[in-house]
Chain A
Amino acid sequence: MKFGIIVFPGSNCDRDCFHVPNNILKQETAYLWHKDKDLKGVDCVIIPGGFSYGDYLRCGAIAKQSPIMKSVVQFANGGGLVLGICNGFQVLTEAGLLPGVLMRNSSLTFICKHVQLKVENNETSFTKKYKKDEIISVPIAHNDGNYYCDEVTLKRLEAKKQIVFRYHGENPNGAMANIAGIINERGNVLGMMPHPERVSEDILGAHDGLKLFESVIACHCEER
Chain B
Amino acid sequence: MWSEQSSYKSSKIHLKKLPTTGAFVVQGPGENAGIIDIGDGLCVAFKMESHNHPSFIEPFQGAATGVGGILRDVFTMGARPIANLNSLRFGAADHPKTPHLLKGVVSGIAHYGNCFGVPTVGGEVYFDECYNGNILVNAFAAGIVKKEEIFKGFASGIGNPVIYIGSKTGRDGIHGATMASDVFGGGNEERRPTVQVGDPFTEKLLLEACLEAMKTGAIVGIQDMGAAGLTSSSFEMASRAGTGIEMDLDKVPLREEGMTPYEIMLSESQERMLAVVQKGRENEVLDILKKWDLDAEVVGIVTNDGHMRVRKGGEIVVDLPIAPLVHAAPVYERPIKRPAWQDKVQKLDLKKIMQVPVAPSPHPSPSRGEGEGGGAIYNSAFKKLISSPNIASKAWIYRQYDHMIGTDTVVLPGSDAAVLRIKGTNKGIALTVDCNSRWCYLDPYWGAAHAIAENARNLVASGATPRAVTDCLNFGNPERPEIMWQFEQACLGLSEACRQFETPIVSGNVSLYNETGKEAIYPTPVCAMVGVLEDVTKHATQFFKGEGDAIILLGENTDELGGSEYLKVIHNKVAGTPPVLDFAREKSLHKVTLTGIARGIIKSAHDVSVGGLAVALAECCLREGRNPVIGAAVEINANLRHDALLFGEAAARIIVSCSPKDADLLLTIAKSFGCPASVIGTSGGRNLKINDLIDIGLDEIYNLWIGGLLITDH
Give residues in A with beta carbon < 8 Å to B. Answer: 9-10, 12-13, 15-16, 19, 23, 49-51, 53-56, 109-114, 139, 141, 143, 195, 197-198, 200-201, 203-205
Contacts and interface: CB of A to CB of B under 8 A. Distances in A.
A109 B405 contact: no
Contact of B399 (A23, A53, A111, A205): A111
B201 A112 contact: no
- Interface-centre pick from A49, A109, A112 (highest chain B CB count, 10 A): A112
Nearest to B204: A10
Contact of A198 (B401, B404, B421, B537): B404
B407 A204 contact: yes
A9 B407 contact: no
Contacts of A195: 404
Contact of B107 (A12, A15, A55, A109): A109
Nearest to B117: A12
Given A15-B406, A50-B117, 19 more contacts: A16-B407, A19-B423, A51-B114, A51-B201, A53-B201, A54-B200, A56-B201, A110-B110, A110-B114, A110-B402, A111-B400, A112-B399, A112-B402, A139-B404, A143-B114, A195-B404, A200-B407, A201-B407, A204-B410
Interface in B385-408: 398-407
Interface in B159-216: 199-202, 204-205
B80 to A, nearest CB: 9
**Which A-B residue pairs are the 6 nearest by beta carbons?**
A12-B117, A54-B201, A141-B402, A51-B115, A16-B407, A112-B402
B293 interface: yes
Contacts of B126: none
Chain B binding site: helix, strand, loop or mixed by DSSP?
A: loop
Nearest to B426: A203
B625 interface: yes
Contacts of A53: 201
A10 B201 contact: yes
Contact of B404 (A15, A19, A56, A141): A141
Given A109-B107, A114-B625, A203-B536, A16 B406 contact: yes
A55 B202 CA distance: 12
B155 to A, nearest CB: 29
8 contacts: A10-B115, A51-B114, A53-B201, A56-B201, A110-B110, A110-B401, A114-B625, A204-B410
A47 B289 CA distance: 23
Contacts of A112: 398-404
B384 to A, nearest CB: 28
Given A54-B115, A203-B410, A9 B402 contact: no
Interface in B70-98: none
Contacts of B398: 112
- Interface-centre pick from A23, A143, A203 (highest chain B CB count, 10 A): A203
A12 B399 contact: no
Contacts of A198: 404-405, 407
Interface in B522-558: 536-537
Given A51-B115, A110-B114, A9 B404 contact: no
A110 B400 contact: yes
B116 interface: yes
Interface of B: 107, 110, 114-117, 199-202, 204-205, 292-293, 398-407, 409-410, 421, 423, 536-537, 625
Contacts of B110: 109-110
Nearest to B110: A110
A16 B410 CA distance: 14
Contacts of A114: 625
A109 to B, nearest CB: 5
A127 to B, nearest CB: 21
Contacts of A109: 107, 110, 399-400
Contact of B405 (A12, A143, A204): A12
A9 B405 CA distance: 17
B503 to A, nearest CB: 26
A23 to B, nearest CB: 8
A13 B405 contact: yes
B709 to A, nearest CB: 14
Nearest to A56: B201
Contacts of B407: 16, 19, 197-198, 200-201, 204
Nearest to A33: B291
A141 B114 contact: yes
Contacts of A55: 115, 201
Contacts of A111: 399-400
Nearest to B395: A113
A203 B292 CA distance: 34
A200 B204 CA distance: 25
Contacts of B204: 9-10, 12, 51
A57 to B, nearest CB: 12
Contacts of B292: 9
B465 to A, nearest CB: 19
Nearest to A113: B399
Contacts of B625: 113-114
Contacts of A54: 115, 199-202
A180 to B, nearest CB: 17
A114 B399 CA distance: 10
Contacts of A197: 407
A171 B107 CA distance: 22
B153 to A, nearest CB: 26
Nearest to B410: A203
Contacts of A203: 410, 421, 536-537
